Chain A
Amino acid sequence: MKKKLLTFLVIIVFGSIFYVFYKGLEESSIYTPDIRVKKDIPVFKSKDFFSGESVESSNIFELDKMYLLNIWSSWCVPCRQEHPLLMGINSRTNINIIGMNYKDNSKNAKDFLKELGNPYKEIFIDSDGIIAIEWGAYGVPESFLIYNNKIIKKYIGPLNEELINEMKLLIK
């Protein structure tokens, strides 16, 4: 009787361990953040990139318009990669691209735009990365698709042709 109970217990314990590990195998080991969409955009104050005047989020994002907020920096190599794509978006769609200059040196950032072009309708600066945190961003580059003051989609990392096609479908 006792032996039976013991084997039963052992089977149960190993069974549950097996189950837990088996479940763990199925799950991806790479952590992907749950991208919380349909969230209101944060309210923030910042400075304009060119004029240095203070700007408020409510003045940048208007209702009933499509926006793409792009976090960029001149020291960020993938940003350089995605920059031509951003330039392309402007000519192909009617999204307004807003830039957030992340922890950057003003002169380097201006040189960057001079060299590669300026796809942004407006740029504000985030000198110590606090505004990016308010947006729930991880780093540069990162982009948010915004409509009616709500985040529709979040793109972590550089954009590519595929994502832009997906974006076009979302806009329609």
Chain B
Amino acid sequence: MKVLRFFLIFFLFLPLSSLKADEVDKRNKITKNLRCLVCQGQSIYDSDSEFANSLKILIDKKIDEGLTEVQIYEYFENKYGEWILYDPRLNKNTYILWLMPLLIFLLGGAIILKKLKKK
């Protein structure tokens, strides 16, 4: 009976603990993607400033409220502007940034192809 009870408790808590782990992963991912605006070159995850600590608390709260990662980014972008995101979105200011690697890759490919054909 004791063993049964043990297993019952064990299996009851099993999914809970893994859920918590998911949340921690999510939180770490989000805090790593947010810039600490009052620090120099640190993410919220790295920083221990007052600003970063408050943000961490708020992120936990938002996760508890059931907001998705994207919704949390949008929330902070709305408050502090796009600068707070480490991963800039594709828009008219950043399209060169996003398309440049692709263009360079294609150009390089074209040069190599041309050289190979010559041979």
Interface size of A in residues (CB-CB distance below 8 Å): 14
**Counting CB contacts under 8 A, is B61 at the interface?**
yes
**Counting CB contacts under 8 A, is A33 at the interface?**
yes
**Counting CB contacts under 8 A, is B67 at the interface?**
no
Q: Decide: A129 and B57 in contact? CB cutoff 8 A.
A: yes
Q: Decide: A130 and B57 in contact? CB cutoff 8 A.
A: yes
**Counting CB contacts under 8 A, is A132 at the interface?**
yes
A136 to B58, CA, bound (A): 12
A134 to B83, CA, bound (A): 17
Q: Decide: A129 and B83 in contact? CB cutoff 8 A.
A: no
Q: Decide: B58 and A33 in contact? CB cutoff 8 A.
A: no
Q: Decide: B83 and A139 in contact? CB cutoff 8 A.
A: no
Chain B interface size, under 10 / 10 to 19 / 20 to 34 / 35 or more: 10 to 19
Interface centre among B54, B79, B80 (most CB of A within 10 A): B54
A128 to B83, CA, bound (A): 23
Q: A138-B37, A138-B51, A139-B38 are in contact. Are A130 and B79 (CB under 8 A)?
A: no
Distance between A71 CB and nearest chain B CB, rounded to angstroms: 11
**Counting CB contacts under 8 A, is B72 at the interface?**
no
**Counting CB contacts under 8 A, is A31 at the interface?**
yes
**Counting CB contacts under 8 A, is B81 at the interface?**
yes
Write out the residue numbers on chain A whose beta carbons fall within 8 Å of the beta carbon of B55.
133
A134 to B57, CA, bound (A): 12
B-side residues, CB < 8 A to A, are 37-38, 50-51, 53-55, 57-58, 61, 79-81, 83
A-side residues, CB < 8 A to B, are 31, 33-34, 36, 103, 128-130, 132-134, 136, 138-139
Q: List 17 A-B contacts (CB under 8 A).
A: A33-B37, A33-B80, A33-B81, A33-B83, A36-B81, A128-B57, A129-B50, A129-B53, A129-B57, A130-B57, A130-B61, A132-B54, A133-B54, A138-B38, A138-B51, A139-B38, A139-B50
